[in-house]
Amino acid sequence: MLGDTKNKFQRGMIYLFAALATLGVTPFCVIRYLRGEYVNALVDLAIVSVSLGNALYVWRHGKATQTTSYITALLYSAGAVVVAYLNGPIFVFWLFPPLLANFFLLNAKAALTVNALMIATVFPLTIIGPTAVESFAMVVSLLMCSSMAYVFARLTHQQQLMLEGVATQDPLTRLSNRRALDEEVRSSLEDFARNRTPVTLIMLDLDFFKMVNDKFGHNVGDSVLVELAALLTKRTRKTDRAFRFGGEEFMVLARNTRLADAAVVAEQLRAQIEAELKDPDGALTASFGCAELREGESVEDWFVRVDKAVYQAKQNGRNCVVAAD
């Protein structure tokens, strides 16, 4: 969800830069052409053309890629440097927009690297300024602008990570939540469609968990869920990922795993839960269902099949594994 929001923001920035280039640079392109400054006009025309082409590509594909973001950032950065060299030290101020924009388009380290190269490239130009004080002022202002933008970008990134954690993590068990599962499932469907990478859902439901809450209280019930989450985190394979689906239901997404292999994993988890998970009355058990993604199957149908498998496990006496046919 937040990944989609970030991509929308990047698309918006690319569209904005294309609009600004068209409205802000096109007049200079015309003026310089009429004055006979053909090299300057060609540079301005290249900036406008590439920015519009980049925006059109993003619009047609519906998302901003790392490549399009880098093209936009490098385009404006290189264009600002070329304009400064073609027109003299006073045009160093054209570097300020890309210095800021790079932190919106690239990650903080990449933006800092590009900005450092920009400043280093125009440094010889600042030396020939009218006075030493003015040259020093230009360099310092560029460094200050880039440094403050870097700090802002780092703080924004940290806040984004915190929000992602809040949005995709179950507050009780610290496992990933349903929203994170939906994103992982979407990615798995894309891998399956592109590379036929098998993927299987393993669903487990604690047996008679309502009795735990009713008899010992929700504090004990919550402790059981936390212990189960820790067990899943410890016992699942590195290629698997565990989620709290809701209540006492948990999911394990087993990527690159066929149904038969997932059933083996589920059986191992079932035995470990029976051996390690306890309430004040003794051992607890769980019922498992497994369903491998089928060709052309929707997410909803896939979830229905794994849910039916768990239901069948309950009907079979609980504390067992059922693989969806």
Instruction: Show the tokens assigned to 323.
Output: 């693989």
Beta strand 286-292 pairing with 199-206? antiparallel
C-alpha distance from residue 149 to each of 12, 99, 144, 289 (Å): 19, 8, 8, 50
Helices (H), 88-208: 96-105, 108-127, 132-168, 178-195
Beta strand 282-283 pairing with 286-292? unpaired
Task: Provide the 3-class DSSP secondary structure of residue 154.
Answer: helix
Q: Closest Cα partner for 104 from 13, 7, 16?
A: 13
Phi, psi (deg, nearest 5) at residue 294: -100, 160
C-alpha distance from residue 26 to each of 92, 186, 249, 264, 315 (Å): 19, 42, 59, 65, 72
- Cα separation, 210 vs 221, in Å, equals 8
- Cα separation, 216 vs 291, in Å, equals 34
- Cα separation, 25 vs 46, in Å, equals 10
How many Cα atoms are found within 13 Å in the side-chain-facing hemisphere of 225? 26
Q: Tell me the helix, strand and coil percentages in the chain, rounded to 5.
A: 70, 10, 15
Bridge partners (DSSP) listed for residue 252: 202, 242
Contact partners, residue 317, CB within 8 Å, separation at least 6: none
**Catalytic residue IDs:** 248
Name residue 187's amino acid. S
